[in-house]
Every structure is written in C-alpha cells, then in structure tokens.
Structure 1
C-alpha cells in the first residue's frame, strides 16, 4: 500500500495510537521503537484491544495479514502520514513556536488569545513537541480547524528543519536563544543555528515571522523576511509597541499596550517577552485588545511552569517543568530581588554534556553572591561540584532530601523557589514542604 491508500484508512479511523494499551476502537496502531522497547511486539495486543490496523516494521509481527501492514520504518511512515495530512489540510494557517525557553508558555498564551476569536483552535498538547509528538499533533488536526499553534522542541541541529517540512508552517516565532541541550548542540552557536532553521524555512517559502525587536539576534537574522515586529522602543519598523513594567519586586507580570494595562498571574519578569509575543500574534490576527487582555489575565499555568502556591503562609514558586543554565539564572535573578526571606530547592540541569559541571558551578557562584538565605541542591551533578558555602546543602537525590526535611524541617521563610530538569520531577517534593 502507498501512503494515499493508508491515508484513506486513516480518514475513517478514530485516530493514531502508539501505545497498545490506549488504543481506541477503530484506531490505527503504529509500532514505534525506542531505546528500551519495540512497539512491534505489541501489534497483536493493539488489534485485540480494538485497533482496526497495526503498522509494523518487523515482518515477523505482520502475522495478521488483514489487519497488519508492514513498512520499512514506522517512524518514517508516521512522518510521511502527518506530512500528507498537512498537505490535505494546507488551507489551515499554522503558527510554529520554538526557542530555548518559554515556548510552551508562549504557545498556550497564543492559543488562549486566538480562542477569543476562533471557535476551533488546534495546538500542541502538553509537551508533544518532538519528532514523535509533532506528527501526532498534526494528525490530530481536524478539517474544521480554523488555526493551529505548534510547538517545536529540539536537542540537536537539523531537527527543527525536519519538523518544518512536516508542519509546513505559515508563521513562526523564536522565543530566545539560550543554553539548552548543550550536549546535542555543542555550543551556543549550534543552538542559534538550530533555531534559525525556522527562519530559513519561512524565508524560503515567503512566510511571515514574528520578531522581538529588542532581541538583536532575531532582528539581524530576519533581514529580508516578511516580519511583524514588537518592541519596547518606538522605531519606524515596529508594528506593536509594548511597555514593560520591569519591577523586580513585583511577582506578577505587568505590561502596557496603547495605555491598556495587562496584569498576568505569570510570575517573573522573564515572562514579559512571552506575554508580549502572544499579544503581538493576537494583534496580527485582529483579536481585539479587550479580548487579548481577558485571555492573558485569565490564563493560569497548571503545568509546573511559573506557578505560585501558598502553603503555611509561604509563597512557593513552582517553576520545575524544566531547567537549563539560561532559565535557571533568569529565575534566580528574579527571585533574588524579591524582598523577604528566601529558600531555593534546585535540581540538576540535564543534557549539558561537557558543559555540565561548569554550568552547575556557575549556579552555585550566583547563589553564594545572592541574598538567598538557603539553597537545597539535589542531584549527583550538584553533589559533585566543588563550590559551596554555609547556606548551601547538597543532596544526592530527592529521597535523601526528604529524609533531611522529616528530621529537621524546612526553616521559616517567606518564599521558596523550586526549579530543576523535568526528569528530576521536583514537584513531588511539595507535599513535604
């Protein structure tokens, strides 16, 4: 069967599934492979659970000829099916958002704003932003979708380029260029090249890019492109002028557009650019400022990103969905300027490769010089650092930290910041605080 024939079956199915235990009746199961699993082994289970079809790339599992299709590579097939689906739905405008930090928050804000105008907004759910999640997201886009917002994450070069050929975006925005996934990118130049793959695609296809006019990397690398620019500075080429309230003592994010004050519950002045870009995109798509203000002020994060929880009169800032050197320093810098007693609970920053030890030493240096009262550092990377001080306590893992809490309890404080890489899952510590 060619891709068109299988697509006809997909069009009458209940959707794509890659987990045999989650298949719905009449869904299509695609047997993907990972480091520790082989989806081919679960093809029969998927069919037994109601799948109308199983796509495999190991012929020994293509035993049920009526309900099994063999392909050379199931991941490649998933990409091609998504690409064909996008081709069929080429009329739907898609906005792509990528960057080192803030892409998920920006994506959700953009979707919330667009939902004030459009009845059917499609967007990336959770963190489905990789080479598997993106094609699945595209395939979940229905024919009655009016607009879509897709997030791209990347940990090596050429990944964004490859995803762009699947998504075929009409618009794009890069949040920033920070020290994320250094293990795959090798250095900051590799990170910049990777993110700019989005610009290359948009420029080649004469599509539009949204630009933070206060970011020189974005400005210089988008010359000659169709641009829609926002900035805090009044310039002739700026489409949207936004004024930020850079008040480091203010937990909420506040900005102004055309004398309209917008107060977001998102904490940290590092979120101001994320909010501003979402406002800009909403403005481009002619969402009224009244509706934009509503969407921004109604949006409350619930994914461990820039959340605030009050427990026993302590304000706990939960920003532990992920971490890299750039986002960690920005969070600590913001936290450092809040008035009151402060404690940080930080987990290892992963995927930094050769730079790992030095970047963790840099975090400790910042803490030592700061007015943060106590820092609890969790993970074997932090434990292997040499720098320390009286206000730093290191733990090899979460278990040893919990044991310490149960023995001594957290000292009295006004604020606690929790931040670390996703794999560390520091949110599990909240119940012990």
Structure 2
C-alpha cells in the first residue's frame, strides 16, 4: 500500500478536502457516522469512528476509538506539543465581546507584516472549533490565532488546557450568558480561568482600566495592558470598541518585534468581518448608511453599538433584536437598552419578546415593538429611509437579523457582500 501524507482533519463531510482525516463526531443534531459515504466521496484518507458500519465505504480506512471527541482532543494536545517544539506561538483570544474581530485583526497585522500563520475559521471557538484550529496550524508557522468562547462554566479552562496559549488576550468582561454564569462575577471567574492554563513564560494581555469591568484575581501569569488606539484604526472599523480591539492586535504585533510604521500600514487596510460593525453604503450619498452589527448581541455590545450610532447625524434608525441567555437580568437589560435606544435614534424598531415585554401603555415616540420577526418587517424598516439615514442592525445570533441587512441591501440595489 502506498503511503500518503494526511492533509488535515475535519468533522464536516461537506467541507472535507482530499487526503483529510474525517472524525465522526456525534452531536445533538447530527451523527458523523451517517456521513462516511460522503467523506469517502470527498477523498478522505481515513475516518475515525466509534462504531464501524456493516458495509464500510470502499477505499476508506477506518480507525475505531471509544470516543471520537476524546480522540480529537488528544490529537490537538499532541499537535500543540509539536507546535511548541517548532516555535509556532499560540495566540488565544477570549472575552465577552470582540473576540472574532480581535482575532481577525491579529491575523491581519501579523500576516500582512510578513509572518506566516493561521487563525480560527469563522467563530471556531468551542470544544470542536478550538482543537480543529490547532490541528490546522503547521509547525513551520510563526503563529496561530485561536478564538476561545464559552457559554457554560468550565469551558474556558477546558479549552485553555487544549490551546495552552503563549499569548492570551482577554478582550473584556461583560454581561454574557448570564443565564449560566449568574452575574458579572461569574463571567469574570469563567474568563479569568484561562490564566491558569497558559504555557510556561506566557503573557496575558488585558485591557487597561477603565476598560476592564473586573480586575483579575492574584495569578502567577505575566500580565500586560492595552488601551484604545484612536489613531491606528482603519476607517472601515468604526467605534471605540474597535479601537480597543485594534489595540490588542497592536500590542501583539509589538511583542513579535514588528515596527510601528508596518503596524500602521497593516491596520490601515483592515476590513470588518460580516455582522461586526460593518459599514454598508457609507460612501454612497444616494443610499442610507447601514451599520451591520447583526452577528450577536449582549447588553455591553448593544451599548457600544448605540454609542457608535450616536456619532452619526440624524436621522438615525435602530433595529434591535432580543438579547438571549441573560437569565434574571433579561427584563432589566431589555428595558435599559430600549430606553438607551430611544435616546440614541429618532426611530427604533425593537424585535422579540424580550423587548416587547418592556413596552408601556404610554408609547415612546418613534419606538415600535414586534414580539417576533416576520418578513413584512423589512418593508416597514425600509419605509421612510432617506439617503441621509443611518441604520443600526443588531441582535442575538438566534434573531438572525442578517436577513434585515440582506433585505435592505437588495432594496437599495446591491449585494451586502460587495458593498462598502
């Protein structure tokens, strides 16, 4: 039998490349073992399974293990050791908000300045995404930027143990997933658990006061601080929150010894990720400006987005969807954000039962509530828009408010993927 090198690892038969190892993960809504034929058709070199099918796909070698998830994690830990021995540094990015943008900016700056590295594809920041990110890095790389997320206690520590970061960025501590963490102190305990999982001689980068809501506990980790950098952010990345995200990328670039002019040049070309403070039509005087912040939301990121909206002249429209997983803070948080939105925009459209529950018998001028999404809302949102209007679109992931962005973009004659 002719030996061939493995091209990588994957868990999604739809995205598998020839020569990769397919790991048949069993999830809540799918079972990877149902896609062995698809993996074979894609050219998988090997499939790691918990149970062999009675009729294995021809040409697909199988490796049976007790747990494919455990196998994935063990492979990631072994590969992490290879990366360390080769000098490839693992950079982790965690925190309540801004993880994907910060990770993206780190990769943008380092790679533009001549370093070779990889990053988490999309928001690969959970128990599957983190090991896959590590396994995609090559020992000859200079770095891998790894996003670490959480929505239940203990996840950051577990993912940190896989990544063992050489440089760890905690973007902020805010009101995220309070249904599971209880309060801000619970969020802080979860996020700061990463400090106990760093590689030897690692560095943790934290925002300087007052940008960090809670200070870390006593730790043996080396800590350095970063602060917003107003003069170093691309025009396409608006808002103070993006200044803070950029400051983290700048601090890491400096740690890699990159000169300040090269950092400035790299940041000047940075573009936002879809759904994260992305400006559409901002330079077109014939169409309204859209602030596409539709990817996700919690109270802190809502405040940041509304602060950005307030920097634009009237007329302004805020299209906000519910914030999920806030537990006991749900009613209060939606009431606070609804009130802030009413003072930040001349017109507000608030969508979801969380916001609808804040409506009072005496309606607030310019504010309308919709308990759920329905397609006709797109027409209502577009009604009355003028070329001078600025529209903010933001909500939790489950609200899927990117469909508002898509509908408005179609209405004004452009694809949201191509607009600037």
Question: Paired residue for 2:414?
Answer: none
Name the CA shift for 1:29/1:402 in 2 (closer, same or farther; >3 Å).
same
Unaligned runs of 5+ in 1: 1-8, 232-241, 245-253, 256-260
Query: Within 2, Cα distance between the matches of 1:198 and 1:211?
Result: 12
Query: Within 2, Cα distance between the matches of 1:211 and 1:137?
Result: 23
Question: Paired residue for 1:166?
Answer: 162
Name the CA shift for 1:218/1:291 in 2 (closer, same or farther; >3 Å).
farther
> Aligned-residue CA RMSD in angstroms?
2.5
TM-score (norm 1): 0.84
Query: Within 1, Cα distance between the matches of 2:240 and 2:67?
Result: 45
Name the CA shift for 1:402/1:184 in 2 (closer, same or farther; >3 Å).
same
Name the CA shift for 1:137/1:62 in 2 (closer, same or farther; >3 Å).
farther
Name the CA shift for 1:287/1:332 in 2 (closer, same or farther; >3 Å).
same
1:142 to 134, 138, 141: 138
1:12 to 5, 19, 22: 5
**Is the contact between residue 17 and residue 43 of structure 2 (CA under 8 Å) also seen in structure 1?**
yes
**Is the contact between residue 317 and residue 416 of structure 1 (CA under 8 Å) also seen in structure 2?**
yes
Question: Paired residue for 1:43?
Answer: 36
- What do the CA deviations read for 1:364-406 (whole angstroms, capped 9, x no partner)? 12223x1411111122332343345231112220414125357
Query: Within 2, Cα distance between the matches of 1:159 and 1:321?
Result: 22
Name the CA shift for 1:269/1:156 in 2 (closer, same or farther; >3 Å).
same
Question: Paired residue for 2:399?
Answer: 424
Unaligned runs of 5+ in 2: 409-420
Aligned length: 395
TM-score (norm 2): 0.86
Query: Within 1, Cα distance between the matches of 2:233 and 2:332?
Result: 39
Question: Paired residue for 2:380?
Answer: 404
What's the offset of the Cα at 1:41? 1.8
1:122 to 106, 109, 118: 118
Query: Within 2, Cα distance between the matches of 1:371 and 1:178?
Result: 21
Question: Paired residue for 1:34?
Answer: 27
Name the CA shift for 1:119/1:224 in 2 (closer, same or farther; >3 Å).
closer
Name the CA shift for 1:62/1:134 in 2 (closer, same or farther; >3 Å).
farther
Name the CA shift for 1:394/1:54 in 2 (closer, same or farther; >3 Å).
same
Q: Which aligned pairs between 1:344-355 and structure 2 lie closer than 5 A? A: 344-355=318-329
* Alignment pair present for 1:212 and 2:210: no
Q: Which aligned pairs between 1:27-426 and structure 2 lie closer than 5 A? A: 27-59=20-52, 63=56, 67-90=61-84, 91-202=87-198, 205-214=200-209, 215=211, 220-221=216-217, 224-231=220-227, 254-255=230-231, 264-310=235-281, 312-368=286-342, 370-387=343-360, 388-395=363-370, 396-405=372-381, 409-412=383-386, 413-426=388-401
- Give the 3-state SS of the residue equivalent to 1:193 in structure 2: helix
Question: Paired residue for 1:235?
Answer: none
